[in-house]
Amino acid sequence: MSLPHALLTALLERPAAGLELARRFDRSIGFFWHATHQQIYRELGRLERAGWIAAQPAAGGRGRKKTYRVLPAGEEELRRWTAERQDPRPLRDELMLRLRAEALVGPTTLKDDIRRRLELHREKLAVYRQLEERDFPPEKRRSREARLRHLVLQAGIMHETYWVEWSEQALALLSELEEAEQ
C-alpha cells in the first residue's frame, strides 16, 4: 500500500481539510498504514499537482484552510492500483532475529521486551474490539462498504490476537527454559 492510495481512499470516503484528514487517518487507515501529519500534507500537495485531487477553500474557513476532494483521475488511479496483483511480503521482524540470538547468547532480558510488546498488542486488540462493537454491530454490516471495512478491521483483530497468543507462548517457553537451566 502506498500513502497516496491510502489518502485517495480516505478522501473518497469523505472529502476533508488536511487536519481533519490527518486526524481521521490516525483513527482508521493509520492502524494499517502509518503516516505522520507532515507526510500527509506533503502528499496532498503531490496528489494535487498530479491532478488526482482538488483543493477548494473550506466553507466558512479562515486563512488557508482547504477541503480536498478526489477528481476522476484520482479515482481512476485508485481503481488501477486496487486491481494490481501483489505477492505477500515475507515476514521481516527484528524480534524473530533477537529470539534466534537469545538461543545462542541467552538468557537475556528479551523476556521483558516480549512482556511489554504483549501489553501493547493487548491494548491494540482492545481498541479494535471497541471499534468493532461501536462501528460494526450486526445491523450496520449489511452494505458492501461496511462489510469490506469490517473485514479490514477483522484482519487487525486476527493480527493482534495472533501476537497476543504468540507472545504468551514465547513467555511460557522462555520461563520453562530458565527454570530448567537453574
pLDDT tens, 17-38? 988 888 888 888 888 888 889 9
Cis ω for the linkage preceding 90 (within 30 of 0): no
Say which amino acid occupies 113: D
Question: What residues have CB less than 8 Å from 125, skipping those under 6 apart?
Answer: 157, 160, 161, 164
Helix (H) or strand (E) holding 28: none
Tens of pLDDT, residue by residue, the chain (182 residues): 589 999 999 999 999 998 888 888 888 888 888 888 999 999 999 999 999 999 988 776 566 788 999 999 999 999 999 999 999 888 889 999 999 999 999 889 999 999 999 999 999 999 999 999 998 988 877 889 889 999 999 999 999 999 999 999 999 999 999 888 87
By CB neighbour count within 10 A (0-12 exposed, 13-18 middle, 19+ buried), where does 135 fall? middle
Q: What is the rounded distance in angstroms from the CA atom of residue 55 to the CA atom of residue 114?
A: 45
